[in-house]
Amino acid sequence: MGLDDLLGAFPWRPIRGCPGRYSLPAGTLAFADVAGREPRAFRVAGAPDEVLVARLDDGAGVISYRRADGSTVHTLGTPEGFARKLAQLGIEL
């Protein structure tokens, strides 16, 4: 599964001011239902929520934020956008 597969499967919206990154509205979709695989979970100083991460087959990736209320915000990044956001969060895969 890669970027093009996910872009066609869900109603992603570009994230303003963040080239190569897209988001889904907050909801209850499980990470594995979006990314097609289980995430690695992180707690980082730069995010108040638990951060869930998976790299896709083409180098793109999904970064999701699990909120305390149980909702999840899923983001999708091109290989460049994914790498940039991981670096901002201080996450190394």
Token digits of residue 21: 């990154």
Question: In angstroms, rounded to a whole number, what is the distance separating the alpha carbons of residues 76 and 44?
Answer: 19
Predicted TM-score (pTM) of the model is 0.95
Chain centroid to CA 85: how far?
A: 9
H helices present in the chain, as ranges: 3-9, 31-35, 79-89
Token digits of residue 65: 């934020």
Question: In angstroms, rounded to a whole number, what is the distance separating the alpha carbons of residues 30 and 14?
Answer: 21
Q: Tell me the per-residue pLDDT of 34-69, one tens digit each, with 9 for 90 and over.
A: 999 999 999 999 899 999 999 999 999 999 999 999
Q: Tell me the per-residue pLDDT of 18-35, one tens digit each, with 9 for 90 and over.
A: 999 999 987 889 999 999
Total domains in the fold of the chain = 1
